[in-house]
């Protein structure tokens, strides 16, 4: 009996090894798609080596498509209309495409493999996205897992962006990553300073880009990014404003507050910022300074679970709970939400319950 079991195990092992070898050989030959042509907007044609994603081959040709998740198919931002050659819609794309988009050939460029000639349409404004070279000028610890990075632009040496937009930072090849990887980060600095950008980044254990930034990037190092991207921005109305953010969601709100100060915008504004522990709270002094400089701005920080030995005299509870019990006349406001999908969704739900309509709620979900 034992001998029969041993023989069966041996057969299974040999069969598995043979299948693995067959798959490796198949991948080696079947994935060699040769040279493929990509026709852009019926005008420009590029020739690329087949096998990579459409997002990657466009990036290789300095055509940058927004992608907040680094091409993992989890943000849904890299949509393009593919008129010919994309193949069947993948299950990974379905959650991010409505029926109208599917019917018109919209696809996630990070999920479409270039296996043959393609014909695609790219929004004209994306041809204006530029790649920037800069050097790391300053790294500031904000909390135990959040840092602010300040970069001095080298080539080109100036940038214009709308407060609330983001850039895609390039993580180079290093010992934790065998390939270059892009990640999206909102700009946090003063838009009046066109020679620098600032990013507020939270460390993600095992994250390719955050590990590089926190443990390998040094002051003086050269890095690249492209952008700017995004439609998150302050509207041109007189409506009172409510900002809600947590963690590194501070970044675009901080940038917008700089913009309001620079341009003498006098809209009534309240900013609810949530943290779990007191040690997770940061930039309170800067927010107090904004309170002094902006005529009708109020900053309300909230800590949901302070430790017994942490002193905290401010609001306690989830930031959404604080909003629910504190915000008056919500229906008259415009809301700007930034942070994790969970925070943004919860904040939107509370605001709708308070009477704010969805068309007045703007958000930037961090993938």
pLDDT in tens, 19-51: 434 444 444 445 567 899 999 999 999 999 998
Would you state the pLDDT for residue 31? 59
CA 329 vs. chain centroid, Å, equals 31
Contact 38, 32 (CB under 8 A): no
More confident: 76 or 337: 337
Strand arrangement of the beta sheet that strand 297-303 belongs to: 315-316, 297-303, 269-275, 241-246, 334-339, 361-365
CA 17 vs. chain centroid, Å, equals 41
| C-alpha closest to that of 125 among 14, 236, 229 | 229
pLDDT, tens digit, 9 for 90 and up, residues 312-346:
999 999 999 999 999 999 999 999 999 999 999 99
Across the chain, what does the average pLDDT equal? 90
- Mean pLDDT lowest for which of 177-181, 219-223, 345-349? 177-181
d(CA 250, CA 301): 11
Average pLDDT over residues 259-272: 97
Would you state the pLDDT for residue 15? 52
| C-alpha closest to that of 240 among 362, 107, 331, 160 | 331
Please report, rounded to a whole number, the percentage of residues in the chain having pLDDT higher than 90: 77
Measured N-to-C along each axis, helices 319-326 and 341-353 cross at an angle, to the nearest 10 degrees, of 20
Would you state the pLDDT for residue 4? 54
Q: How many CB atoms lie within 10 A of CB 53?
A: 18
| C-alpha closest to that of 149 among 220, 88, 63, 71 | 220
More confident: 4 or 67: 67
Measured N-to-C along each axis, helices 284-293 and 250-262 cross at an angle, to the nearest 10 degrees, of 30
Residues 6+ positions from 332 with CB-CB distance below 8 Å: 239, 240
Domains and their CATH numbers in the chain: 35-126 (3.10.20.30), 129-229 (2.40.30.10), 241-365 (3.40.50.80)
Would you state the pLDDT for residue 367? 66
Where does the pLDDT of residue 171 fall: very low under 50, low under 70, confident under 90, or very high at 90 and above?
very high
d(CA 237, CA 269): 12
pLDDT, tens digit, 9 for 90 and up, residues 238-248:
999 999 999 99
The answer, yes or no, to whether residue 285 has pLDDT greater than 60, is yes
d(CA 325, CA 328): 8
| C-alpha closest to that of 281 among 322, 241, 310 | 310
Residues 6+ positions from 237 with CB-CB distance below 8 Å: 334
More confident: 79 or 4: 79
Where does the pLDDT of residue 62 fall: very low under 50, low under 70, confident under 90, or very high at 90 and above?
confident
Residue in the structure block whose two tokens are 């990553």: 177
Q: Tokens at residue 178, please?
A: 């065998």
**Rounded to a whole number, what is the distance in angstroms from the first to the last CA of the chain?**
54
More confident: 71 or 349: 349
d(CA 252, CA 275): 17
Would you state the pLDDT for residue 3? 54
Would you state the pLDDT for residue 79? 93
Helices (H), the chain: 2-30, 54-60, 99-103, 208-215, 250-262, 284-293, 319-326, 341-353
What does 102-129 look like in DSSP terms, one character per residue?
HHTTEEETTT-B--S-EEEE--GGGGG-
- For residue 324, cis peptide bond before it (omega within 30 degrees of 0): no
Please report, rounded to a whole number, the percentage of residues in the chain having pLDDT higher than 70: 91
Average pLDDT over residues 109-138: 93
Would you state the pLDDT for residue 172? 94
| φ, ψ at 64 (rounded to 5°) | -100, 125
Average pLDDT over residues 119-131: 89
d(CA 344, CA 138): 30
d(CA 284, CA 346): 24
Average pLDDT over residues 58-76: 85
3-state secondary structure of 292: helix
Q: What pTM did the predictor assign?
A: 0.82
């Amino acid at each position: 009996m034992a001998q029969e079991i041993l023989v069966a195990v041996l057969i299974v092992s040999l069969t598995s090894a043979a299948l693995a070898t067959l798959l490796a050989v198949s991948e080696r030959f079947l994935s060699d798609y040769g040279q493929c042509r990509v026709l852009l907007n019926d005008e420009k044609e590029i020739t690329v080596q087949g096998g990579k994603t459409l997002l990657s081959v466009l990036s290789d040709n300095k055509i940058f498509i927004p992608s907040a998740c680094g091409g993992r198919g989890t943000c849904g931002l890299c949509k393009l209309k593919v008129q010919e050659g994309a193949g069947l819609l993948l299950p990974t794309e379905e959650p991010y495409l409505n029926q109208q988009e599917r019917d018109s050939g919209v696809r996630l460029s990070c999920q479409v493999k270039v296996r043959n000639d393609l014909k695609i349409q790219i929004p004209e404004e994306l041809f204006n996205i530029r790649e920037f070279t800069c050097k790391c000028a300053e790294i500031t610890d904000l909390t135990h897992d959040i840092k602010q990075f300040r970069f001095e632009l080298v080539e080109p040496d100036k940038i214009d962006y709308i407060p609330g937009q983001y850039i895609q930072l390039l993580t180079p090849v290093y010992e934790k990553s065998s390939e270059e990887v892009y990640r999206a980060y909102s700009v946090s600095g003063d838009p009046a300073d066109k020679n620098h950008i600032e990013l507020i980044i939270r460390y993600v254990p095992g994250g390719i880009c955050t590990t590089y930034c926190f443990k390998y990037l040094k002051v003086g190092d050269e890095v690249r990014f492209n952008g700017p991207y995004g439609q998150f921005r302050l509207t041109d109305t007189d409506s009172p404003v409510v900002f809600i953010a947590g963690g590194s969601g501070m970044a675009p709100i901080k940038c917008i507050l700089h913009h309001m100060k620079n341009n003498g915008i006098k809209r009534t504004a309240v900013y609810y910022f949530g943290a779990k522990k007191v040690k997770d709270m940061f930039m309170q002094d800067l927010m107090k300074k904004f309170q002094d400089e902006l005529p009708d701005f109020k900053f309300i920080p909230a800590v949901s679970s302070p430790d017994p030995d942490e002193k905290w005299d401010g609001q306690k509870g989830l930031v959404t709970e604080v909003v629910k019990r504190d915000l008056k006349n919500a229906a008259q406001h415009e809301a700007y939400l930034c942070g994790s999908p969970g925070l943004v969704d919860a904040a939107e739900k509370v605001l709708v319950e308070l009477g704010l309509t969805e068309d007045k709620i703007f958000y930037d979900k961090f993938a």
